[in-house]
Chain A
Amino acid sequence: EAGVVQSPRYKIIEKKQPVAFWCNPISGHNTLYWYRQNLGQGPELLIRYENEEAVDDSQLPKDRFSAERLKGVDSTLKIQPAELGDSAVYLCASSLVNTEAFFGQGTRLTVV
């Protein structure tokens, strides 16, 4: 069974430019998460979807970040415009109800 797939793996952009990350969760997993992980820190939740509905986006900086989950499957996270402080690893994860979360390999974003 394929795991959580993310792309791209690495992205380097200049500040003020837009960037987008894509995630394909494990088949059948209704819950999808986007996390941000800074060096030496644990993952921090940005947004959580139950099917196509965003049920927790309280930590998403909505002035520059946006996300969508098409038809309750794939998801895209966008940053526009990017700032230097957005440099981090962006992780996507998925889970069934009340079970463990499975992570993708992440996208390492560097904003210069």
Chain B
Amino acid sequence: QKEVEQDPGPLSVPEGAIVSLNCTYSNSAFQYFMWYRQYSRKGPELLMYTYSSGNKEDGRFTAQVDKSSKYISLFIRDSQPSDSATYLCAMSSPNTGNQFYFGTGTSLTVIP
């Protein structure tokens, strides 16, 4: 079993839709959770960084962590064509030093 599981998609939504992206994980020691956005032929760009459980909101983006279910989500409200990219979840734990565990990424297309 992989440390982090992420549905690769692809996911296609109309402009203005609410998008939900999800990852599950197996290691209960993970405490730091990240979402990256990666445009084609670019490096991953950090979108959201959260520590432990709870929600964090930044503009149209909301990151949610449910440690009891080992489940994290990224919600995108009022999705725009410019949100079309691959979204990667990543996580780490103080117990594993600065080692990050990545999902495989979900490809999202927002149709105008």
Interface size class of B (residues with CB under 8 A): 20 to 34
A3 to chain B, nearest CB (A): 9
Judge whether B94 and A56 touch: CB under 8 Å: no
Judge whether B98 and A100 touch: CB under 8 Å: no
- The proximity string for B residues 70-112 relative to A, scoring 1 for CB distances below 8 Å and 0 otherwise, is 0000000000000000001010101001111011110000000
Counted as pairs of residues, one from A and one from B, with CB atoms less than 8 Å apart, the total is 62
Please indicate the chain B residues that have their CB under 8 angstroms from the CB of A45 in the complex: 99-100
Please indicate the chain A residues that have their CB under 8 angstroms from the CB of B45 in the complex: 103
Q: Chain A residue with minimal CB distance to B33?
A: A100
**Option from B8, B41, B100, B103 in Cβ contact (under 8 Å) with A108:** B41
Q: Answer yes or no: A52 CB below 8 A from chain B CBs.
A: no
Q: Answer yes or no: B54 CB below 8 A from chain A CBs.
A: no
Judge whether B97 and A55 touch: CB under 8 Å: yes
**Option from A6, A48, A102 in Cβ contact (under 8 Å) with B98:** A48
**Option from B32, B43, B103, B105 in Cβ contact (under 8 Å) with A105:** B43
In the complex, 10 of the A-B residue pairs with CB atoms within 8 angstroms, ordered by the A residue number, are: A31-B98, A41-B104, A42-B4, A45-B100, A56-B97, A56-B99, A98-B92, A100-B46, A103-B44, A103-B45
Whether A98 contacts B32 in the complex (CB less than 8 A), given A31-B98, A48-B99, A103-B44, comes out as yes
**Option from B32, B42, B99, B105 in Cβ contact (under 8 Å) with A40:** B105
Judge whether A42 and B43 touch: CB under 8 Å: no
- The proximity string for A residues 90-101 relative to B, scoring 1 for CB distances below 8 Å and 0 otherwise, is 010001011111
Judge whether B102 and A42 touch: CB under 8 Å: yes
- The proximity string for A residues 80-97 relative to B, scoring 1 for CB distances below 8 Å and 0 otherwise, is 000000000001000101
Q: Chain A residue with minimal CB distance to B97?
A: A55
Please indicate the chain A residues that have their CB under 8 angstroms from the CB of B42 in the complex: 105-106
Q: Size of chain A's interface in residues, with CB distance under 8 A?
A: 27
Q: Answer yes or no: A68 CB below 8 A from chain B CBs.
A: no
Judge whether A102 and B104 touch: CB under 8 Å: no
Q: Chain A residue with minimal CB distance to B49?
A: A100
Report the Cα distance A6→B44, complex, angstroms. 13
Q: Answer yes or no: A61 CB below 8 A from chain B CBs.
A: no
